[in-house]
Amino acid sequence: MFVVMVAPECAPAAKAGGLGDVVFGLSRELEIRGHAVEIILPKYSGMRYEHVWDLQRSYEDLRVPWYGGAVSCTVWFGHVHGRKCFFIEPHSGDNFFGRERLYGYDDDAMRFAFFCKAALEFMLKTGKRPDVVHCHDWHTGLVPVLLYEQYSHELGNQRVCYTIHNFRHQGLTGPEVLAATQLGRPEHFLDPDRLGDDHHCHTLNLMKGGVVYSNFVTTVSDNHADEARHGDSGFGLGHTLWKHQGKFGGVLNGVDYGVWNPETDPYIPARYSAWDIERKYENKEALRDRFLLRKTWSPLVAYVGRLDEQKGMHLVHHALFRTLDAGGQFVLMGQEQKHNGINGHFQHLKDHLNDNPDCHLELTYQEELAHLVFAGADLLVVPSLFEPCGLVPMMAMRYGTVPVVRATGGMRETVFDRDHAPHEFERRNGYTFHQTDNQALDSALQRAIGLWFDHPADFRFLMTNAMRADYSWAGPGHHYVNIYEHIRHK
């Protein structure tokens, strides 16, 4: 099969979070299974170009219809750690992608509407006729809409799989996007059966367009698919998902063990496996050196993730002080994406705790350093308010770092409580809690820290359970191939 991914991210070159990991990891898995995969991305000026090999111009003067005229683009080609990627660079006064960050601008809807149109125009002009186009999140929700409404005659019967990583951001925008993309007909597209938002008048919902017009829609775990359809995790899209439930399902993400693997990881000083797990402690020492933490007999608890309300920031704050009270050490690695003020709060905390030898806050985004944090920590907290899948605990487990998570979304399918899970003992791999208050977090964190101090052999058993769990792309890759086959033959 020939699959084209149209995506706003691909790790590690263009990554803001887990979506980028999925686009890279799933593409790699599909290639291992013998399928041809190409990825189309915006050419962000803030991309990490050291991860793009042989970047070269592939198509000059791609004219993308836009409002009443056209915008000329250069399309570049390069390999991101083996993946074949095309990067679209528009030349216009809007400077859509020549900016510092990937997202978080007032004209994001327009930027990515342009990207969708340009991706299809590129496929059209270069004769690419994939069996399946796989799109991701609201940024690419317009791809199936444009494909069906404007390109189906010329591009033929392309099938679309659409994956939602985060229902919170749906790409709400005004009808000017219709004029820009030449879709026109506001009365047609603003209909609630198409792109009209159910809760805001005269507003387009680009993610809803992706759901309505795609042949199959996934989110990143079964449990989250249920939460989104029946609970409030769909952030207003529940009704649409219910209407389209025949083509909607959950597929738990995988982790790319080619990248996240303590046996081969180039970013950690001591490599190890479940068989020589004591070498993990060399990484703990290295992490302490790196963050100037004192070397005592104490558990090291970490948080790695975006600083966003989604992640339960009040509980992260609480976990930090609870850990210090319990005689542990705490490392936080996070950055906000939009200017939401959370960075300011943690910057203040960082200044306040500056001289504390048991605590370090790293308010940056550093892919390589995240590897060392996973390898060096004993425990990792993920107290998210909602979490569609949750790659961070899955990655941490591969490094024998025991997760303490709120049982929500995908984490209910991956982390099983040591004391309460109904699973056999060998499958229990962490600690979970349910509510969103401090006491709930304490109930899990205290048990975890207690086990570390009082029963080291049992703690080690839990670490090896976590390491042995298989959350690779093999299973999910197989699922996606089945979905692609299903929509191809429908």
Contact 436, 406 (CB under 8 A): yes
Query: Does 78 contact ligand ADQ by CB under 6 A?
Result: no
Candidates 148-156, 244-252, 333-341, 413-421; binding stretch for ligand ADQ (CB under 6 A) = 333-341
Query: Is there binding between residue 8 and ligand ADQ (CB under 6 A)?
Result: no
Residue 333 touching ligand ADQ (CB under 6 A): yes
Give, as ranges, the residues between 228 and 267 that touch ligand ADQ (CB under 6 A): 253
Q: Is 305 in the site for ligand ADQ (CB under 6 A)?
A: yes
Query: Any binding-site annotation on 15?
Result: yes
Query: From CA 141, how far away is CA 115, in angstroms rounded?
Result: 11
At 320, is the secondary structure helix, strand, or coil? Answer: helix
Closest CA to 398 of 224, 267, 277, 306: 277
Distance from C-alpha of 135 to C-alpha of 92, rounded to nearest angstrom: 25
**Which one of the spans 14-22, 75-83, 99-107, 397-405 is the region binding ligand ADQ (CB under 6 A)?**
14-22
Q: Does 428 interact with ligand ADQ (rule: CB under 6 A)? A: no
List, edge to edge, every strand of the sheet that includes 300-306. 359-362, 329-335, 300-306, 379-382, 402-406, 431-433
Q: Is 387 in the site for ligand ADQ (CB under 6 A)?
A: yes
Cβ 102 to ligand ADQ shortest distance, Å: 12
Q: What span, in angstroms and rounded, lies between the C-alpha atoms of 51 and 82?
A: 10
220 binds ligand ADQ (CB under 6 A): yes
Give me the DSSP letters along 152-171. HHHH-S-EEEEEES-TT---
- The alpha-helical segments, DSSP class H, found in 192-235 are 206-213, 222-230
Q: Taking CB under 6 A as the rule, which mask of x and - marks residues 21-50 in contact with ligand ADQ?
A: xx----------------------------
Find the binder of ligand ADQ among 92, 261, 335, 340 (CB under 6 A): 335
> Which residues between 337 and 376 bind ligand ADQ (CB under 6 A)?
365-367, 370
> Which residues 6+ apart lie within 8 Å of 129 measured at CB?
2, 123, 155, 156, 158
The window from 18-26, 46-54, 185-193, 425-433 that contacts ligand ADQ (CB under 6 A) reads 18-26
Contact 384, 312 (CB under 8 A): yes
Rule CB under 6 A: is residue 293 a binding residue for ligand ADQ? Answer: no
Number of residues that bind ligand ADQ (CB under 6 A): 25
CB of 81 to ligand ADQ, least distance (A): 14
| Under 8 Å between Cβ of 44 and 20 | no
Task: Tell me how far CA of residue 381 lies from CA of 97, 445, 471, in angstroms.
Answer: 34, 8, 19
Structure tokens at 414: 């991956």
**Which residue, 71 or 259, is less far from ligand ADQ as judged by CB?**
259
Confirm or reject binding of residue 304 to ligand ADQ (CB under 6 A).
Answer: yes
For ligand ADQ, the binding residue among 8, 144, 250, 334 (CB under 6 A) is: 334
Closest contact distance (angstroms) between CB of 221 and ligand ADQ is 8
17 in contact with ligand ADQ (CB under 6 A) = yes
Task: Say if CB 331 and CB 301 are below 8 A apart.
Answer: yes
The CB-nearest residue to ligand ADQ is 17
Residue 237 or 333 with smaller CB distance to ligand ADQ? 333
User: For residue 263, which amino acid is it?
Assistant: E
Give least dist CB 207 to ligand ADQ, A. 14
Q: Which is nearer to ligand ADQ, 316 or 389 (CB)?
A: 389
In 3D, which of 367, 348, 350 has the Cα closest to residue 359? 350
Nearer to ligand ADQ by Cβ, of 367 and 413: the residue is 367
3-state SS class at 207? helix
Contact flag: residue 19 with ligand ADQ (CB under 6 A): yes
CB under 6 A: which stretch of 169-177, 205-213, 226-234, 300-308 binds ligand ADQ?
A: 300-308
The yes or no reply on residue 7 touching ligand ADQ (CB under 6 A) is no
DSSP letters for 96-155: SS-SSSSS--TTHHHHHHHHHHHHHHHHHHTT---SEEEEETGGGTHHHHHIIIIIHHHH
| Binding-site residue ranges for ADP-alpha-D-glucose | 15
| Binding-site residue ranges | 15
Q: Where on the chain is the footprint of ligand ADQ (CB under 6 A)?
A: 17-19, 21-22, 165-166, 220, 253, 304-306, 333-335, 365-367, 370, 387-392
